[in-house]
Structure 1
Amino acid sequence: MTRKAIRMQLYPGYENEYKKRHDELWPEMRNMLKDHGVINYAIFLDKETNALFGYLEIEDEDKWAQSAYTEINQKWWNHMADIMETNEDHSPKTVNLVEVFNFN
């Protein structure tokens, strides 16, 4: 298992909408995440900065990377592009975070 952490940026005023969209995550998206090796995925919001912190536990880095090319993931990115910072392909702008401590 591999742990990953990322930072993303939500536009101001969209905190409730972001949560709502994830509370209503499409079944096809859930299945795609499982099919691409996601064991655990949590997203946290820093209300002072609107920064989003994503934490993932995945089976395999290559398997996870392939999720970006799925039709449902592309549809999800388009669905989220109006409320957060994205790249030209509507993928979220992310910063990979470096693990500096882990307590098991």
Structure 2
Amino acid sequence: MQRLAFKMKLNKGQKEAYKKRHNELWPELKQLLKENGVSEYSIFLDEETSTLFAFQKVSGDGGSQDLADNPIVQKWWAFMADIMEVNPDNSPISIPLEEVFYMP
């Protein structure tokens, strides 16, 4: 099991929209993530900077960031593109974070 972390950026004033969309996460997206080894996925918001901090527990070598070619993921990205910083293909601008401490 590996632990992955990355950060993204939410557009100002979009906290409630972001929470609502994730509270109503599409069942097919949730199933896709689980089928690809994502067993836990948390996202935290630093409201001062609008930085989103994401954490995943993943079995195998990949994570949600490796599903870019999947049509469900591309549809989700398009759905989220109006409330967060994204790349030209609508994927969230995502910066991997290095784990520097872990206490099991």
TM-score between both structures, scaled by the size of structure 2: 0.95
Higher helix share: 1
* 1:43 and 2:43 correspond: yes
Q: CA separation of 1:27/1:87 partners in 2, compared to 1, >3 Å: closer, same or farther?
A: same
In structure 2, what is the equivalent of residue 21 of structure 1? 21
Where structure 1 has 5 or more consecutive residues not aligned to the other structure, the ranges are: none
- What amino acid does structure 1 have at the position aligned with 2:99? E
Contact 1:36 1:66 (C-alpha < 8 Å) held by counterparts: no
Aligned-partner Cα distance in 2 for 1:103–1:80: 33
Contact 2:28 2:72 (C-alpha < 8 Å) held by counterparts: yes
Where structure 2 has 5 or more consecutive residues not aligned to the other structure, the ranges are: none
> 1:43-82 counterparts in 2 under 5 A?
43-62=43-62, 64=64, 66-82=66-82
Give the RMSD, CA atoms, in angstroms.
1.2
Q: CA separation of 1:40/1:63 partners in 2, compared to 1, >3 Å: closer, same or farther?
A: closer
